[in-house]
Amino acid sequence: MTIHKYCERRLTIATFFSALTKKPSAMKLHTAAILVIFWLGVFTVHTVKGSVGSQPMRKFSCVTLSTQQLNIRNLVNYEKQRVPVNAIMFINTKGIKICVSPDQKWVQAAMKKIDQKRATKSK
- DSSP bridge pairs for 79: 89
- Whole-number Å distance between alpha carbons of 98 and 67: 10
DSSP 33-67: HHHHHHHHHHHHHHHHHHTTTT-PPPS---SS-B-
- Whole-number Å distance between alpha carbons of 50 and 85: 25
Which segments of the chain belong to CATH 2.40.50.40?
72-122
Tens digit of each residue's pLDDT, the chain (123 residues):
555 554 455 555 555 555 555 555 666 777 877 877 877 776 676 555 444 444 555 567 888 898 899 998 999 999 998 888 899 999 999 999 999 999 999 999 999 999 998 888 776
Helix (H, G, I), strand (E, B) or coil at 89: strand
Q: What CATH code is assigned to 72-122? A: 2.40.50.40
